[in-house]
Amino acid sequence: MPRETERWGLRRERSADFSLLLPTRLPGISFTGRGRIWFRRDASKPGKDISAAVARAASLFEVQRVASTITQELPPEASFEAEQQIALDLWSGDRLRGDVALNSRRG
C-alpha cells in the first residue's frame, strides 16, 4: 500500500521531463530526444493503488518503447516526421500524452 503522500486521484495528471538516446536506421547515428510527458493512473487496470513513482517509471518506459520503434525505421534527416509520429502515438491514448523534440547525433 503506498504511503499517504504518494496517493493521487484518478483524474490528476502528473508530468515528467525526459531525455532519450534513440536509434536510427543508420549505424553510428542516433536521435537525441527531449520532452515532457503527462500521465495519470488507469482505473480500468489492476494496480490502481500504485505510487506516482511507479506510474512515472512505467510511463517513461512506454515513451522509450514508442519512440524507439518509430525512430529505428527512419533516417536521421526524418527527425520532423519522427517527432510527429511519436506525438500522434502518445496522444492517441487517454492515460499518457507527451511532446518530444529530436536532433540527430553521430557516434
pLDDT band with cut points at 50, 70 and 90 for residue 68: very high
* pLDDT at residue 81 is higher than 60: yes
Indicate the pLDDT class of residue 2, thresholds 50, 70 and 90.
very low
- pLDDT (tens digit per residue) in 16-52: 999 989 988 888 888 899 999 888 766 666 656 677 7
pTM here is 0.76
Range of the domain at 61: 4-106
Structural domains in the chain (count): 1
> How many residues would you count in the chain?
107
- What is the CATH number for 26? 3.30.479.30
38 forms beta bridges with 15, 97
Which CA distances in Å does 77 have to 70, 83, 91, 102? 14, 12, 23, 10
pLDDT band (50, 70, 90) for residue 64: very high
Q: Using an 8 Å Cβ cutoff, are 34 and 19 in contact?
A: yes
Q: In the predicted model, what is the mean pLDDT of residues 60-64?
A: 90
